[in-house]
Amino acid sequence: MNLLFVSSECAPFVKTGGLADVIGALPRALANCDVDVRILLPAYREFTELLKTGTQVLAIKKLFGGPASVVAVNADGLDLLLLHAAHLYDRDGGIYQDKDGQDWSDNHLRFGALSFVGAKLAAEGLIGWQPDVVNAHDWQAGLVPAYLSQIKKPVPACVFTIHNIAFQGRFDSRLRVDLGLDERLFTQEGIEYFGDISFLKTGIALSSKITTVSPTYANELLLPEFGMGLEGLMTYRQKDLIGILNGVDLEVWNPESDPLIDANYSVRSLAGKKVNRKEIENRFGLTPAKDAPIFCVVSRLTTQKGLDLLLESVDELVGLGARLALLGSGEKWLEDGFVEAARKYQGSVGVIIGYDEPLSHLMQAGCDAILIPSRFEPCGLTQLYGLRYGTLPVVARTGGLADTIIDANDAALAADCATGIQFYPVTRAALMRAISNACEFYKDKKLWRGMMRRAMRQPVSWDRSAGLYAKIYQQLSVKTKSKSLEK
Ligand code: ADP
Ligand code: GLC
């Protein structure tokens, strides 16, 4: 069974968030289910060196204003198909935004091109490799089924995966012509969205199946509070929608062997965690304290993540004797607010603004608890890393956070099955109650250790979820095959 992934990110090569982690990990797990995945990615500047080592498998004379090619390369155990189109991707700046934080003005073409080539590869295949199904991820790949629908021969079915419905790839409808999309697609059932074009909406409307990254988020997407305007369409497509939890790449995120942390440790021997904690205290300028936990945050700093509520709670958190180590970047007012809090509470609050992959591992290893007060969270990966590293997640009860953490309520404590703390509603008061409960639990060393060990033993691998994806691909590929036989 051959599968084509179309995505704008893939760890460890290019990452701004959890999408990259998923694209870098799921193909490895799918390989164990006999699914051979190739990943189509834009060849951003990060790929300059890798491009030189690959083999050109497709050439396109002109793709939205310049020449393009697809270069196949195996790196880090992944089969990548790099879409080399220098006029679109070889730039100084971010993958979505320029150096000033403005979206690239031609993002519709950059990701339209990705989708176009995704559809072309799905339909035509490569010498010796024909995809049975294509899985397009997030808005950047949302036009794949639109371009597939313009190909006049039987084509593989498309699965569309929603990692976050908040990012919809919405553009002026006049750009349809530049994108080479037929006028007949500009309908409510197709690419049209409130008079504009939406890439995400297109993916949802035109794909055979839609997946999202947790069962709870799949339910939430039907509600106005979470559907972000697409709840009607989600409800209409409900029968083809399935929520499948993300997993963890157990090789990359393993406290027993992680090369990015100061001391390795395991569920049997937790001693190394203390060494990492020392290093966290050094790096964040935190004063050692025995009976109070270090909470950490590793996150985009946005209102999605509810970090404004944490900012408003810093005084109280410090008042409880707890400490906070925060690594993140994002909205300027949140960055400034946390920097100011660190200045005000030197020794108790440490803040590093930026993106630092190695430090994110050290924080999971050296902190006691990880705070994730998200207003919505399709799945969330940092709570899963927290479980694995015995850094207990304190999370809002929403989306994937609700599905992965067992709240330390009285029943769970009595049954010895708690793995963290959940709170609801997502308010400052509820967050503060959760933080205060965590501080109380922390004082009871036996209780805390028990929760840590249980958290570390939670099954967070991709195995089960990969099986669920594989099943969907199998069903669709059988359907497509029998359809094309009928023709
Ligand atoms: P989202 O994709 O919504 O940002 P996830 O929890 O799914 O949230 O994934 C976030 C990923 O990005 C995790 O791998 C996390 O460790 C990483 N991450 C987020 N912010 C930073 C940062 N400032 N430095 C390093 N890694 C980060
Ligand atoms: C999105 C979501 C996050 C999810 C990630 C990977 O970025 O915000 O919750 O874990 O995608 O699926």
0.95 surpassed by pTM: yes
Q: pLDDT at position 484, please?
A: 65
Residue type at 211?
Answer: T
Give residue 293's pLDDT. Answer: 98
Nearest Cα to Cα of residue 375 among 411, 335, 408, 424? 424
Question: In this predicted structure, what is the pLDDT of residue 486?
Answer: 64
* Interatomic CA distance for residues 264 and 270, integer angstroms: 9
Structural domains for the chain: 2-247+463-482 (3.40.50.2000), 271-457 (3.40.50.2000)
**Cα–Cα distances in Å, from 67 out to 61, 94, 117, 242?**
5, 22, 13, 38
Nearest ligand 2 atom, CA 21? 6
Q: What angle do CA 7, 371, 264 make, to 5 degrees?
A: 80
CB 164 within 8 A of CB 300: no
pLDDT, position 35: 98
Tell how far the Cα of 16 is from the centroid of ligand 1, in angstroms. Answer: 7
Instruction: Output the pLDDT for position 478.
Output: 82
pLDDT of the residue at 487: 56
Distance between CA atoms of residues 439 and 368, nearest Å:
10
- In DSSP terms, 353 is beta-bridged to 328
| Ligand 1 pocket residue status of 382, Cβ below 6 Å | yes
Angle of CA points 283, 289, 293, to nearest 5°:
80
For residue 11, give the ligand 1 atom closest to its CA.
14
User: By alpha-carbon position, which residue is closest to atom 19 of ligand 1?
Assistant: 299
Ligand 1 contact, 36 CB (< 6 A): no
Residue nearest to atom 7 of ligand 2 (CA): 18
Beta strand pairing call for 196-198 and 170-171: antiparallel
- In the reported structure, the alpha carbon of residue 162 is separated from the centroid of ligand 2 by a whole-number distance in angstroms of 9
What letter represents residue 477's amino acid?
S
Give, in degrees to the nearest 5, the angle at Cα 76 between 357 and 251: 60
The whole-number pLDDT of residue 13 equals: 98
CA-nearest residue, atom 3 of ligand 2? 380
d(CA 227, ligand 2 centre) in Å: 15
Task: Please report, in tens digits, the pLDDT of each residue of the chain (487 residues total).
Answer: 999 999 999 999 999 999 999 999 999 999 999 999 999 999 999 999 999 999 999 999 999 999 999 999 999 999 999 999 999 999 999 999 999 989 999 999 999 999 999 999 999 999 999 999 999 999 999 999 999 999 999 999 999 999 999 999 999 999 999 999 999 999 999 999 999 999 999 999 999 999 999 999 999 999 999 999 999 999 999 999 999 999 999 999 999 999 999 999 999 999 999 999 999 999 999 999 989 999 999 999 999 999 999 999 999 999 999 999 999 999 999 999 999 999 999 999 999 999 999 999 999 999 999 999 999 999 999 999 999 999 999 999 999 999 999 999 999 999 999 999 999 999 999 999 999 999 999 999 999 999 999 999 999 999 999 999 999 999 999 877 666 666 5
Place of tokens 């050439």: 59
Q: In angstroms, rounded to a whole number, what is the distance separating the alpha carbons of residues 199 and 138?
A: 9
